Amino acid sequence: MTYTQPTPMSEDSITAMLLAAGACVKGRSGRSAHYGSPRDFSFEVKAVFPNKLALQITARQYNYRDPWEASGRVNDLIDATLLFDGNYSQLPKGYSYFQDTDTEENLDSDQLKELIQAIAAINPKLFTLQSLTGDL
């Protein structure tokens, strides 16, 4: 039995994933880099996709690994919040994420990649259609 740990994520690695998906991205580090920043997160990245959907990604706390596993502090899991038209939103029916909630917690790097691909590919008219049918 082999167990592989999730790929560590950083502000730079998440920014690169989002830029590759065509999003406009802005990030900020937590208290470790800027004394006046809030203490409750390691970093935060916000992205707006061409389809006007936005994703707010927050890494709450660093994990510490033994030196042979990774160097120093890493983030294995992140939280993501979806915004549509400036408001918190769910995804339309048929997607694996954001069903009956506007926040996904404890996503690893593979789940985040899948989520980014899904959000980048959504046609925003689907939100209007499902709100008219009462599904959203």
Q: For residues 91 and 102, what is the distance between their CA atoms, to the nearest angstrom?
A: 8
In a domain, 51, yes or no: yes
Report if residue 69 sits inside a domain: yes
What is the pTM (predicted TM-score) of this model? Answer: 0.78
What does the pLDDT look like over 107-120, one tens digit per residue?
Answer: 888 899 999 999 99
Nearest to 104 by CA among 126, 123, 114: 114
pLDDT of residue 35: 54
Long-range Cβ contacts of 59-63 (<8 Å, 24+ apart): 59/9, 59/11
23 lies in a domain?
A: yes
What pLDDT score does 74 carry?
A: 59
Q: How many distinct structural domains can be found in the chain?
A: 1
Residue range of the domain that includes 112:
11-133
**Tens digits of residue pLDDT in 56-70:** 998 876 555 555 455
- Tell whether 128 is covered by a domain: yes
